Amino acid sequence: MIEATSLTKRYGAKTAVDSIDFAVRPGQVTGFLGPNGAGKSTTMRMIVGLDRPSAGRVLVNGKPYAEHAAPLREVGALLEAKAVHTGRSARNHLRSIAATHGIPRRRVDEVIDLTGLHSVAGKRVGGFSLGMGQRLGLAAALLGDPATLILDEPVNGLDPEGVLWVRGFVRQFAAQGRTVLLSSHLMSEMALTADHIIVLGKGRVIANATVAEIVGSTQTFVRVRSPRIDEVARRLTQPDVTVTSVDADVIEVRGLPADVIGDAALSVGVALHELTTVQGSLEDAYMNLTRDEVEYRTTVTPDAALAEGIAR
Ligand SMILES: Nc1ncnc2c1ncn2[C@@H]1O[C@H](COP(=O)(O)OP(=O)(O)OP(=O)(O)O)[C@@H](O)[C@H]1O
């Protein structure tokens, strides 16, 4: 369990984290989302005592991280995506961490097995691929058999097999009643991995809800395709219904269910070639939530940039 109360971090005049309150509960995977610069990494660093709050506090299993007698046994963290550049083997790297934290040697072999590193455990860490480096970081985070796991962008740079593996791993970890806080910019992956989502924007919490609630907040629409789409669109025009033309023969309808649209088309004798109810995705919901929260925004759309390039 992680509990933040009025948690604040200022760097000079910049408020990176602005008096936020949230709880990360055991038994589920909590996703931590937000645009670049929203304050996710700063918050994670404060949770594990790498940064001191300017005000407020954050507790892990009831105490500030630094006050735990054996913090590695409370929280495992993977905060840097970079591989560890060392001439040591993976096994020796993990053994050295274990030795300085009073963790028995046999636990090193357990985490090597858990993270699928056995075939490379004797190899030099400096030569590891990004994916192997991520697994090694996770192995180090698991050394103390912690009840809480904090992972900053754990699937960054991983191949599809690695992404799938991390997803399965954290879901299983949470299913054991443990706590997982995970950040990622990959919305489709987050939708599959997380149960609960906290969204930060410019240092504040802008959403804190289950994935189902967040996705459910996006509007469902119906995609309709017909060779006589204009006649269908005219038939549907009424207050509280929005009809958007997206192609010569396609409209998107908000405010009416698919069966009513199908009946309306039949009533004017028009054949439909497609009638699809489209549920908004986590990505749609996220884009809506963070529209006004992005710190670094590109003002030129890819299409406009491309057109300009062609014109030159
Ligand atoms: N050591 C620091 N000194 C000054 N400003 C900092 C420092 N660390 C972070 N910041 C600023 O605080 C804000 C929050 O940064 P943070 O790295 O926590 O965001 P983030 O949500 O993790 O972003 P990203 O998705 O890019 O990793 C940013 O504006 C950043 O520039």
Q: What is the pLDDT of residues 150-175, one digit of tens each?
A: 999 988 878 888 899 899 999 999 99
What ipTM did this prediction achieve?
0.96
pLDDT in tens, 87-108: 889 999 999 999 988 899 999 9
Tell me the CATH number at 131.
3.40.50.300
Range of the domain at 55: 2-211
Tell me the CATH number at 243.
3.30.70
Q: What is the pLDDT of residue 82?
A: 55
pLDDT less than 50: residues of the chain: 83, 300, 308-312
Q: What is the pLDDT of residue 231?
A: 96
Q: What is the pLDDT of residue 303?
A: 53
**Looking up tokens 């240092």, which residue turns up?**
203
Q: What is the pLDDT of residue 312?
A: 41
Q: Please tell me if the CB atom of residue 290 comes closer than 6 angstroms to any atom of ligand 1.
A: no
Residues 18 and 128 in one domain: yes
Q: What is the pLDDT of residue 294?
A: 67
Residue 289 lies in a domain: no
Q: Please tell me if the CB atom of residue 50 comes closer than 6 angstroms to any atom of ligand 1.
A: no
Q: What is the pLDDT of residue 94?
A: 93
Q: Could you tell which of 9, 20, 36, 290 is best to mutate to test the pocket of ligand 1, judged by most ligand atoms within 8 Å of the CB? A: 36
43 CA from centroid of ligand 1 (Å): 9
Residue 64 lies in a domain: yes
Residues 159 and 75 in one domain: yes
154 CA from centroid of ligand 1 (Å): 18
Number of domains in the chain: 2
The residue whose CA has the least distance to atom 26 of ligand 1 is 36
Residue 312 lies in a domain: no
Q: Please tell me if the CB atom of residue 39 comes closer than 6 angstroms to any atom of ligand 1.
A: yes
Q: What is the pLDDT of residue 209?
A: 95
pTM, whole model, 2 decimals?
0.82
Q: What is the pLDDT of residue 111?
A: 94
In this structure, are residues 73 and 113 in contact, taking their beta carbons and an 8 Å threshold?
Answer: no
Looking from the CA of residue 51, the nearest atom of ligand 1 is 1
